[in-house]
Structure 1
Amino acid sequence: MREKYINFNEKRMYIFSELVRRYWNGDLKSAEDLDDLVRDIVDKYGFADAEIPFIKDHIRLAMGLDPKGNEAFGHELTIIKNAGEISHPIVAKLDGPCEHCEEPNCECSDICRYETSIYRRKGPVIVNDKCLNCGHCVSSCDFGAIADKIEFMPVIDLLKDSKVPVYAAVAPAIAGQFGDDVSMGKLRTAFKLMGFKDMIEVALFADILTIKEAFEFDNLVKSEEDFFLTSCCCPVWFNMIKKNYPGILEHMSPSVSPMIASGRILKKLYEDARVVFIAPCIAKKAEAIEQDLKGAIDYVLNFRELKEIFNALNINLSELEPDYKDQASFGGRIYARTGGVSFSVKTVVNRLEPSRVIMLRAKKTDGVKNCKEILDDLYQGKKVDANFIEGMGCPGGCVGGPRTNIDVHKAAMMVNEFGEDSLIMTPFDNLNVMKILKHLGINSIEEIINNEEIKKILSR
């Protein structure tokens, strides 16, 4: 019995790929078709009839729906077809597999001790208002007891509607995630084959936010006692501060993440556009539907899911002709790894005021434990030898996210190489930034912090 649950994350991806293949080809039209999929999965992996509710719930989660236990399939396909968004909670606990899990093989007691109350009582208990949605519990659970919703089923309907322009906004960490011979140009071709209007580098919007944060740092940090917390990129870092350290929230930039900026700006530039963000993590799924941010990004997919989608649709990336566009700077592209934000902002700060007395001194930290330690020090008033604090919830930064396809060290190397390939060194040199700002009614770079329209777009 226990063996069937081992390595369930891979089995879960098979469930998802079958959903994609059948729905894309028009073979999923009714509850009976979903029941046929259940029976095929049960037969393939040798699950018992008593375990069918568990399989059904994984199918529901792979469709972007909430688990419902023993309830029969009904209107799931209709709900997905009419869904405007995926709802909270993103991460769910499923009944069944925990009773077959044997200590000390289970890591539930260790996974979230730095962030929220997840602990063993016949499996983990998730306290949703405290959970940071970092996703490490999902990737660490080998039994499929914890899983996140997958958001591709509604995207299929969008891609098949020729009247709807759908853009794939890809996180900078995507470089190298699909093979050494798969360039960003080949990925753009693949997205277009699927029906996307285009693939956009979110690093371009990181460039815009870098300039904004450089101006903010310049305005805020005037003495040795001042410090600046950057909120760019990582919702885990932002939510740690918001939920647990309200006393230092005033030192944080009000900027949205590059993901949110990409969605808001693309929808300003292209009428009726829909935006799908391609991420290395699970936390971005939760960020996209936060109350003050929702509407910018329609759906979020991660690298692991995208790999399964390409396989299900028989898209061989290495054989595609590349379609290249140089959109972002070196600085914007290295946002994907620890220290990238600090480097990028510093290059612009130095350009804004080369002779400033208080220079930017960065402190880079990654991983929930390390982030918590530095926030504890700041909250308690301890001296930190830095005035620009960059936090990333995953070890190594976004390249170490729980839904990446390659090792974190190789991923960081690939991101650096992709950054070095750019013809644009810093965000300040990116002419694409100025083109976008002019479309939004801004004629000088200084207006980025004074113009009410762009402030509304780039701020929480």
Structure 2
Amino acid sequence: MQIFGELVKRYWNGELKNADTLNILAEDIKEKYNFKDEDIFFIKNHIRVAMGLDPRDKDNFQDEINIIKNSKEINQPIITKIDGPCEYCEEENCKCSEDCKYEAHIYKRNKGPVIVRNNCLNCGECVTTCNFGALADKIEFMPIIDLLKDENTTVYATVAPAIVGQFGEDVSMGQLRTALKLLGFKDMVEVALFADILTIKEAFEFTHLVKSKNDFFLTSCCCPIWFNLIKKNYPNLFEHMSPSVSPMIASGRFLKKLYKDIKVVFIAPCVAKKAEIKEPALKGAVDFVLNFRELNEIFKVLNINLKKLPGDEKDQASFAGRVYARTGGVSFSVKTVVNRLDPTRLIKLKAKKVDGVQGCKKILDDLSIGKDIGANFIEGMGCKGGCVGGPRTNINVDKATKIVNEFGEDSLIMTPFDNLNVMKILKQFGINRIEEIATNEKIAKLLTR
């Protein structure tokens, strides 16, 4: 983050224009943070990754600034290896010496970790546990700066439900909206609003697909780790997976239908979302992803003090949509709607909530062998505690969960069915009754993979 902060400050102020200015930045970082001369190659590659570029085997910068200025997206892979620091690592229990917890098989070798891409889920666990910076996820803010400074481009920020409290308990969502507008965003939209819409869709899917005691339904599509874990490793269960897109993808698709020629930036607690927006079936909905730690560094180096800003408060989402941020939130939300749709339904929604890879894998293994798990609605979240436990959060999971619950309770809207903002959006697509979500082709296209 320190290297990223130095990069942001200079690029924002127009000081980085060519390879020479990048080389000066690298030398300044070396001096400021007491690196050695032999570390300069490592520093330059971290600068490249902080720019959203791949590491190179070249000592000097060349065309990096031009590449960024002409780029419309940050290319895969998201998680990349940087040569050099592994030779200093003496940790006996280094994560690289074990199998990745998501079975991507990252091994410790002479020149550092090797990542098997077809297994990697971009969870970011390896990045956060490496103390030497041998692994890093590309940061997407450099192209965003150019968009924000372009008077002819409109950029919306959509924020994950887990964002509440991440920048201080006494910082309101309205103050965060003001801060993002100061950066140049047109507005900030709660992705929980689109979680409300997807909750209604998944409730209809559940009532349609779960007709007997042997039927079951897999969610949540809001977590790309859980989704890809099933898709890659449990093909026999994939047919039970909800076809819904994540609330993040829905937010981008809806906003781009409502407003022409806009850009959408999602602000997330995780690394995996950076990879999700690049999946072929989902590409184009969201242009870039920032995480909470990156945004915190941006505010810091640009001297934006959120606590001193006026709050531009809006009530966009329901209690149910806002608690998508923590384990059990999706199950609670869908159940409230299922009960509203048919209170006399004989097959009730019985939820099982699992989080963390061990919990996810265990329940998927049980389902694969036909074991009765006592539930027909299975919610999985890749991180412990749900999104509030993501690898790029600013506060611990227990504190974040408490704040999310309180923020949900503060909503004037209890369930997705009560959210007038949902109907306001749907009416612009010709829907006059909320039940039409299940049959409207335009909406189905926006909400389905």
Among 87, 112, 120, the residue aligned to 2:75: 87
Among 6, 23, 26, the residue aligned to 2:14: 26
Is the 2:99–2:105 contact (alpha carbons within 8 Å) kept by the matching residues of 1?
A: no
Which residue does the alignment assign to 1:97? 85
SS in 2 for 1:246: coil
AA aligned opposite 1:349: V
The reply to whether residue 243 of structure 1 matches residue 241 of structure 2 is no
What does 1:146-225 align with in structure 2 at a 5 Å threshold? 146-225=135-214
Displacement of 1:105 in angstroms is 5.1
Which residue does the alignment assign to 2:54? 66
Is the 1:214–1:349 contact (alpha carbons within 8 Å) kept by the matching residues of 2?
A: yes
Q: Deviations over 1:93-112 (max 9, x none)?
A: 11111111013252323461
Is the 1:115–1:368 contact (alpha carbons within 8 Å) kept by the matching residues of 2?
A: no
AA aligned opposite 1:381: G
Which residue does the alignment assign to 1:344? 333
Which residue does the alignment assign to 2:27? 39
Percent identical across equivalent pairs?
72
Aligned-pair Cα RMSD in Å: 1.0
Is the 1:186–1:320 contact (alpha carbons within 8 Å) kept by the matching residues of 2?
A: yes
AA aligned opposite 1:311: K
Q: Equivalents in 1 of 2:101, 2:123: separation in Å?
A: 13
Q: Which TM-score applies when normalising by structure 2? A: 0.98
CA gap 1:274/1:114 in 2 versus in 1, 3 angstroms: closer
Q: Deviations over 1:61-89 (max 9, x none)?
A: 00000110234211111111111111100
Which residue does the alignment assign to 2:389? 400
Among 345, 351, 354, the residue aligned to 1:362: 351
Among 426, 431, 434, the residue aligned to 1:442: 431
SS in 1 for 2:399: helix
Is the 2:101–2:357 contact (alpha carbons within 8 Å) kept by the matching residues of 1?
A: no
Q: Equivalents in 2 of 1:180, 1:234: separation in Å?
A: 25
AA aligned opposite 1:413: K
Aligned length: 448
Q: Deviations over 1:344-388 (max 9, x none)?
A: 000000000001000000000000111011111111211111000
Which residue does the alignment assign to 1:430? 419
Q: Equivalents in 1 of 2:285, 2:263: separation in Å?
A: 9
Is the 2:102–2:121 contact (alpha carbons within 8 Å) kept by the matching residues of 1?
A: no
Which residue does the alignment assign to 1:4? none
SS in 1 for 2:237: helix
AA aligned opposite 1:199: M
Q: Deviations over 1:16-36 (max 9, x none)?
A: 011111011111111000000
Displacement of 1:129 in angstroms is 1.4
Q: Equivalents in 2 of 1:86, 1:427: separation in Å?
A: 34
Q: Equivalents in 1 of 2:14, 2:99: separation in Å?
A: 40
SS in 2 for 1:390: strand
CA gap 1:111/1:20 in 2 versus in 1, 3 angstroms: farther
AA aligned opposite 1:268: K
Q: Equivalents in 2 of 1:222, 1:110: separation in Å?
A: 43
Is the 1:231–1:254 contact (alpha carbons within 8 Å) kept by the matching residues of 2?
A: no
Which residue does the alignment assign to 1:313? 302
Structure 2: which 5+ residue stretches go unaligned?
none
Is the 1:54–1:69 contact (alpha carbons within 8 Å) kept by the matching residues of 2?
A: no
Q: Which TM-score applies when normalising by structure 1? A: 0.96
Which residue does the alignment assign to 1:280? 269
Q: Equivalents in 2 of 1:333, 1:152: separation in Å?
A: 26
SS in 2 for 1:308: helix
AA aligned opposite 2:303: N
Name the stretch that deviates more: 103-112 or 420-429: 103-112
What does 1:382-397 align with in structure 2 at a 5 Å threshold? 382-397=371-386
Q: Equivalents in 1 of 2:407, 2:41: separation in Å?
A: 45
Q: Equivalents in 2 of 1:110, 1:364: separation in Å?
A: 27
AA aligned opposite 1:376: D
